[in-house]
A and B are shown apart, each in its own frame.
Chain A
Amino acid sequence: DTAVSQTPKYLVTQMGNDKSIKCEQNLGHDTMYWYKQDSKKFLKIMFSYNNKELIINETVPNRFSPKSPDKAHLNLHINSLELGDSAVYFCASSQTGFMDTQYFGPGTRLTVL
């Protein structure tokens, strides 16, 4: 059973389009995260949710909007995609909060043309 799953695994799209990435965890964790890993492999936190409530919202363009319908799901919607949005996006979850071990999904490789 996959603990943290993301769909799609690959996403290739044109500039200006809107796209969504879905994430689900079956670990019963309270906290979920979105990270962006750019071409230099630097992993940076974007958002963090605890029990469906937004905890962290880093300096991310407001074209990025997370949504957590329940504590097992955290989706990411991106409007008006730009070339600089090309990266790998990882979803993760942890038992209670940021001090715990985080379990990552397989990543979504987004390419904006």
Chain B
Amino acid sequence: RKEVEQDPGPFNVPEGATVAFNCTYSNSASQSFFWYRQDCRKEPKLLMSVYSSGNEDGRFTAQLNRASQYISLLIRDSKLSDSATYLCVVPNTGGFKTIFGAGTRLFVKA
């Protein structure tokens, strides 16, 4: 099993839609998690962090299920500007490093 696995996508959704991505992780000792956003030909930027059961920031909600070892990202009322790749990020406490998922590509269409 890969350390971090994401829905491969791409997801093609119309403006205003609700879309959810899943991410599973293998290290049960992981305590904190992140979602980063990467626009085409740009650097990754933090979208939100998840330390307990979840986090909400405007239209974005991240949920953590420790028992099943997955994190989800829900985007409500999608905007054209949400089109990007979303990276699930899990610090690996055993290896003292951060593991990035392969990313889920989202296209929001008018």
For A101, the closest partner residue in chain B by CB is B46
Q: Determine chain B's interface SS by DSSP, over half rule.
A: strand
CB of B102 within 8 A of CB of A56, answer no
User: Would you give the shortest CB distance from A40 to chain B, in whole angstroms?
Assistant: 7
Which of B34, B46, B85, B97 is close to A48, meaning CB atoms less than 8 Å apart?
Answer: B97
For B30, the closest partner residue in chain A by CB is A99
Contacts of B45 in A (CB 8 A): 104
Which of B32, B44, B93 is close to A43, meaning CB atoms less than 8 Å apart?
Answer: B44
Q: Count A-B pairs with CB separation below 8 Å.
A: 51
CB of B87 within 8 A of CB of A43, answer yes
For B92, the closest partner residue in chain A by CB is A98
CB of B42 within 8 A of CB of A106, answer yes
CB of A107 within 8 A of CB of B97, answer no
- Size category of the B interface is 20 to 34
Render A97-113 as a binary contact track against B, CB cut-off 8 A, 1 for contact: 11101111111000000
- Size category of the A interface is 20 to 34
CA distance A19 to B73 in the complex (A): 39
**Is A44 interfacial (CB-CB < 8 Å)?**
yes
**Is A11 interfacial (CB-CB < 8 Å)?**
no
A-B contacts, 17 of them at CB < 8 A, read: A33-B98, A41-B102, A41-B103, A42-B100, A43-B44, A48-B96, A48-B97, A56-B96, A58-B97, A90-B44, A98-B91, A99-B31, A99-B93, A101-B34, A104-B43, A105-B43, A107-B42
Binding site for A on B (CB under 8 A): 31-32, 34, 42-46, 49, 85, 87, 91-93, 95-100, 102-103
Known: A45-B99, A99-B31. 14 other contacts (CB 8 A): A35-B100, A41-B85, A42-B100, A42-B103, A43-B44, A43-B87, A43-B103, A45-B97, A56-B95, A56-B97, A98-B98, A105-B43, A106-B43, A107-B43
